[in-house]
Amino acid sequence: MPSRRNRGWPRSRSPVRILSLAHRFPYPPTFGSKVRAFNVIRHLARDHQVTVLSLARSADEEREADGIAPFCHEHRAFRVHNVLQAAKIAATLPTPVSASEAFFHSAALQREIDRQLARRSFDFIFANCSAVGRYVEHVNDLPKLMDFCDVDSRKWSDYVAFKPWPLSLGYRWEAWRMAAAERRMAGRFDHVTVATKGEVDALAEIGVRERVDWFPNGVDAEFFKPSSEPFDANLISFVGRMDYFPNEQCMVEFCAGAWPLLRRARPALRLQIVGAAPTPRVLALGRVEGVTVTGSVPDVRPFVQRSALTIAPLKIARGTQNKILESMAMQVPVIASRIAGDGVDAVPGEHLVVADSADEICEAVLRVAGDAVERARLGQAGRARVLSHHAWPSAMKRLDGIIERSARPASGVRAEALTA
């Protein structure tokens, strides 16, 4: 680990000045990484000055970014264009620089970071996701924390089995490059974090074992709460951004395998696939009898609350699936694959149902949808588990302890300023 100068917090000054970096602008907090980054920012900004610097990939995203203003001290979104970013990926393909780092790189963002750091504007750096670690990995006079959230190199490795040759070679190459980047950055940050204990193990498997900790994803249980409206016993739902390959892949496979079995057993059953940016393969599923593809919706809650249950039959899943937490918080039972369920601190059979094969999924859906008592039991147990194990206040309390250890100078003087 590189030597650090003037480490630790200025104990006489409050609030602490924090630089928060994100690869996707963390507002509005509409999915996965945005939700986690936003809740960290909101928590830290209650007592400290948080400056948010991130990227926007469209004019709409740039405009929406202003919504974060009440939750931070300052923010700036730097516009990037997908065509140019894709060209950067192509340029780095034969190099050790990962595609993720290339795609989320902006010279304008780098200049702004360097400008502010040159003025010694910050006391602490919080990098949300490995893709932005490259911007500040050279900084050695400030305490820094990298929140990997998920181990991206393992995700790329998981994709290999689902991609045809020679495309699979490209995914294997990116997995190797990403693992190298994760190891490099872990050595240049004071602490690295992930979202689950399983991801801690995944980091260990690629050689990152020191200064590693985790804090869970949470869910806003007041926003995602049960509805008093009746549910439809013949309606099941999948929720997720539908240009994300793991979501696309699992729905294509579900509709080819488990869905025909379910329709034969219960012809009135309907499936709604709820989520933005459906790909052509997903849109084609809307032609399958009983299946509706909604595309983007203003609010997913009514779709989930009207459902007998939600499904998460993912074959590729890293970390915590927010779709599972949100459904559990709304007291709607979840049937998930084992790999998706493993990312949630819940007991299979007690708080959610785990099923992998088409036959197992069919049996589980028919049992839960067809038994109002079992549905209510799972729903109530699921919400109780979210409240006890996936509430943001408890997750942020754990994060506070990690940050304090990250910010503690080599002399051993405690960094009370951040968590006082």
Structure tokens at 184: 């490099």
Contact assessment for residue 24 and residue 52, using Cβ atoms and an 8 Å cutoff: no
Q: Which residues contact 235 (CB under 8 A, 6 or more apart)?
A: 269, 270, 271, 272, 306, 307, 308
pLDDT at residue 406 in the model: 83
Q: How far is CA 301 from the centre of its chain?
A: 19
Domains 17-217+392-419 and 232-389 are alike in CATH topology: yes
pLDDT at residue 420 in the model: 43
pLDDT at residue 58 in the model: 92
232-389 CATH fold: Rossmann fold (3.40.50)
Structure tokens at 205: 């498997």
pLDDT at residue 33 in the model: 85
**How many CA atoms are closer than 13 Å to the CA of 124, on its beta-carbon side?**
32
**How many CA atoms are closer than 13 Å to the CA of 392, on its beta-carbon side?**
19
Q: Which residues contact 114 (CB under 8 A, 6 or more apart)?
A: none
Could you give phi then psi for residue 49, rounded to 5 degrees?
A: -90, 110
pLDDT at residue 7 in the model: 46
Could you report how far apart the first and last alpha carbons of the chain are, in Å? Answer: 28
pLDDT string in tens for the chain (420-residue length): 333 434 444 443 568 999 999 999 999 998 878 999 999 999 999 999 999 999 999 999 999 999 999 999 999 999 999 999 999 999 999 999 999 999 999 999 999 999 999 987 899 999 999 999 999 999 998 999 999 999 999 999 999 999 999 999 999 999 999 999 999 999 999 999 999 999 999 999 999 999 999 999 999 999 999 999 999 999 999 999 999 999 999 999 999 999 999 999 999 999 999 999 999 999 999 999 999 999 999 999 999 999 999 999 999 998 889 999 999 999 999 999 999 999 999 999 999 999 999 999 999 999 999 999 999 999 999 999 999 999 999 999 999 999 988 876 533 323 444 444
How far is 189 from 141, CA to CA, in rounded Å? 11
Contact assessment for residue 211 and residue 191, using Cβ atoms and an 8 Å cutoff: yes
Contact assessment for residue 164 and residue 28, using Cβ atoms and an 8 Å cutoff: no
pLDDT at residue 408 in the model: 64
Contact assessment for residue 130 and residue 178, using Cβ atoms and an 8 Å cutoff: yes
Q: What CATH code is assigned to 17-217+392-419?
A: 3.40.50.2000
Contact assessment for residue 408 and residue 1, using Cβ atoms and an 8 Å cutoff: no
How far is 104 from 358, CA to CA, in rounded Å? 38
pLDDT at residue 6 in the model: 40
* Whole-Å CA distances, 189 to 142, 143, 185: 10, 8, 6
Contact assessment for residue 196 and residue 147, using Cβ atoms and an 8 Å cutoff: no
Q: How far is CA 247 from the centre of its chain?
A: 13
How far is 166 from 36, CA to CA, in rounded Å? 35
DSSP one-letter string for 121-163: --SEEEEESGGGGGGTTT--SS-EEEEEES-HHHHHHHHGGGS
Q: In 3-state terms, what secondary structure has residue 285?
A: helix
How far is 211 from 402, CA to CA, in rounded Å? 10
pLDDT at residue 119 in the model: 87
For the chain, give every domain's residue range: 17-217+392-419, 232-389
Contact assessment for residue 396 and residue 40, using Cβ atoms and an 8 Å cutoff: yes
Structure tokens at 297: 């919706």
DSSP-assigned letter for residue 219:
B
Cα pseudo-dihedral 253, 256, 261, 263, rounded to 10? 110
